[in-house]
Amino acid sequence: MTGVIDHWSKDVEYDLDDVALRIRRRVLDMCLGRGQGYAGQGLALADVFAHLYFRVMRRNPDGSLLDRFVLSTGHSAIALFATLGELGVYEEEELRTYGQAGSRIEESPLEGTPGFEITGGSLGQGLSQAVGMALGERLRGSGAKVYCLLSDGELQEGQVWEAAMSASHHHLDNLVAIVDNNHMQADGAPAQVMEVEPVVERLAAFGFVAERIDGHDHEALRRVLPHASVAQHGPVAIVLETVPGKGVETFEHHHKVHYLRLTRDVWDEAIAELG
C-alpha cells in the first residue's frame, strides 16, 4: 500500500453510507471505458470496503496501513480499486482505464499493484497468505490485524480449509476472514454447483468465531467489524450476505451479474439510478 492518501484523516468520522455510495459510483464509472467489468461484485462489496478502509483498519503516521488487507477474490479488485480511488491512491482518470490493454488497473491484478498485497485470481489461495501475515505480524509484535476477503465459491477449494485449520491451530487472534457469501459463482448458485452451507457452522467447526450478517446493513457491519484495536479471541469469520449489483435494481436481477457486459445506455441508466 502506498502512503499516498489524500482523502482520509483519522480524526474524521466518515459518513459510511455516503462513502459506500461514492465507491459504487466509481465502480460504475470504471466500467464505462470498455462497457464491461465485475461491477456486480464492486457494488456488492462497497459497504464492507467503506467500513474497512474508512473506519476499521488503522494507519501509521505516514498514512500507510498498519493493519493489512488481503484480497483473495482477485476479480473483486474493482471494489478495492474504487475504494483506493476514494482515498486518493488512484486518480479517477486512471481508474477509467480499468481492464484496458496495458493498464495497471487490471480486472485481476498481481501483487505489487498499489493496494494489492497478494496475487489473487487463482482463487482459494488468499487465506493461506493471510495466515502467514498474521503469524508474521504476531512474531514481529506489530499488533497489526490481517483482514482477508474471500468468496463463497472459494470455499470449495480445499486450501481454504487447510488455511482455516492452521488459523485456529495457531490461535490467530489477529486474523479476520470475511466471506462474500453472494450465492453466486461461475456456473450458477453454489447450492446447485457445490453446496457450501452451512458456512457459519463449518467455519466454527474449524475454530473460527463466526457470524453471519447482512453485508449491506451498516449497523451490523459496525457491530461485527469493530475498530481493529479491539481485542479478539482467536480467528474471526464474518459471513456477509451480499447482493451482487447492490444498489442498481436491474443489476441485482441480471442473470449475468457475475460479469457485466452492457451497452452505454444501460450503464448510464445505472449511474442515474444510483444517484
Partner 1 sequence: MTDTAAGSVKLERTNVRSIARAPLVEAPFATTVVELGRERPDIVVLSADLSKYTDIHPFAETFPERFFQLGMAEQNMMGVAGGLAKTGFCPIAVTYTVFATRRAGDQVQMALATGHRTAVIAAFLPGITTPFRASHQGTDDLAIMRAIPGMTVIDPMDATELSAALRAAVSVPGPVYLRGLRASVAEVLVPPYEFEIGRARLLREGSDVGLVGTGLGTQWALEAAELLETRGTSAAVLHVPTIKPFDTTAVVEFASHFRALVSVENHSVVGGLGSAVCEAVAGAGMACRVRRCGVPDRWADAGPLDFIRERLGLDGPSLATSVVDNQEAAR
Ligand X SMILES: Cc1ncc(C[n+]2csc(CCOP(=O)(O)OP(=O)(O)O)c2C)c(N)n1
Residues in the chain: 275
Determine the number of helices (DSSP H) and then strands (DSSP E) in the chain.
11, 7
* Dihedral angle sign, alpha carbons of residues 25, 30, 33, 39: negative
The DSSP secondary-structure symbol of 56 reads: I
Shortest reach from residue 108's CB to ligand X, in Å:
8
> Given candidates 13, 62, 91, 102, which one binds partner 1 under the rule CB under 8 A?
102
Which residues are 212's β-sheet partners?
239
Considering the complex, state which of residue 198 and residue 226 has its C-beta at the smaller distance from partner 1: 198
| The one among 37, 99, 115, 124 contacting ligand X by CB under 6 A | 124
- Give the per-residue contact string, 29-68, with Mg ion (x = CB under 5 A; - = no): ----------------------------------------
What is the number of other CB atoms lying within 10 angstroms of the CB of residue 233? 8
- Distance (Å, whole) CA 100 – CA 90: 16
Q: CB 42 → ligand X: shortest distance, Å?
A: 10
Residue 106 makes contact with partner 1 by CB under 8 A: yes
Q: Which cell numbers in the block locate residue 158?
A: 480445499
Which residues in 26-65 contact ligand X (CB under 6 A)? 41
Q: How far apart are CA 57 and CA 48, in angstroms?
A: 12
- List alpha helices for 52-173, DSSP H: 77-87, 92-95, 126-140, 158-169
Residue 110 binds which one of partner 1, Mg ion, ligand X, none, with CB within 5 to 8 A depending on kind?
Answer: partner 1
Residue 75 makes contact with ligand X by CB under 6 A: yes
| Residues 108 to 167 in contact with Mg ion, rule: CB under 5 A | 151-153
**Which residue is listed with cell 453472494?**
182
Query: Which CB sits closer to Mg ion, 86 or 180?
Result: 180
Among 37, 99, 153, 247, binds ligand X (CB under 6 A): 153
H-state helical runs in the chain: 16-32, 39-51, 77-87, 92-95, 126-140, 158-169, 190-193, 199-205, 218-224, 249-252, 264-274
Contact flag: residue 73 with partner 1 (CB under 8 A): no
Count residues binding partner 1 (CB under 8 A). 28
Binding track, positions 183-202, relative to partner 1; x by CB under 8 A: --xxx--x-xxx--------
Q: Please, which residue, 67 or 107, has the CB nearer to ligand X?
A: 107
Residues lying near partner 1 in the complex (CB under 8 A) are found at 74, 99-103, 106-108, 110, 119-124, 153-154, 156-158, 185-187, 190, 192-194
